[in-house]
Amino acid sequence: MKHLVVAFATVSCICALSHPDYIKPCHIKKPDFNKCALEHGNYAIPYLVKGDKQRGVPKMNPMKLPLVEVVESNFRLAMKDLSVYGLENSSLTDIKMNQTYLDLTFHADRLMFIGQYEVDGKILFLSLQGSGPCNLTSVGGNFRFVSVLQEYTEGKETFVKFNKPTMDYTLERAYFYLENLLDSGDQQIGIDINRILNENWEDVLKDIDVPLKETVTTVVESVVSKILRNIPAKNIFPD
Ligand SMILES: *[C@@H]1O[C@H](CO)[C@@H](O)[C@H](O)[C@H]1NC(C)=O
Ligand SMILES: *[C@@H]1O[C@H](CO)[C@@H](O)[C@H](O)[C@H]1NC(C)=O
Ligand SMILES: *[C@@H]1O[C@H](CO)[C@@H](O)[C@H](O)[C@H]1NC(C)=O
- Ligand 1 atom 3, closest CA: 89
Whole-prediction pTM value?
0.88
Which residue, 77, 130, 104, 97, is CA-closest to 28?
Answer: 97
Q: Which domain covers residue 147, as residue numbers?
A: 3-236
Per-residue pLDDT tens digits for 91-115: 999 999 998 999 999 999 999 999 9
Q: Is 87 in the pocket of ligand 1 (CB under 6 A)?
A: no
Q: Is 99 in the pocket of ligand 2 (CB under 6 A)?
A: yes
How far apart are the CA of 175 and the centre of ligand 3, in A?
8
Contacts of 51 (CB under 8 A, 6+ apart): 57, 58, 59, 60
117, β-bridge pairs: 79, 132
| CATH for 196 | 3.15.10.30
- Ligand 1 atom 1, closest CA: 89
Per-residue pLDDT in tens (0 to 9) along the chain, 239 residues: 233 333 333 333 344 566 778 888 888 888 999 999 999 999 999 999 999 888 778 899 999 999 999 998 889 999 999 999 999 999 999 999 998 999 999 999 999 999 999 999 999 889 999 999 999 999 999 999 999 999 999 988 999 998 889 999 999 999 999 998 886 667 888 899 999 999 999 999 999 999 999 999 998 998 888 888 878 888 888 87
Alpha helices in 64-208 (DSSP H): 187-199, 201-207
- Ligand 2 atom 3, closest CA: 101
- Ligand 2 atom 5, closest CA: 101
The domain tally of the chain equals: 1
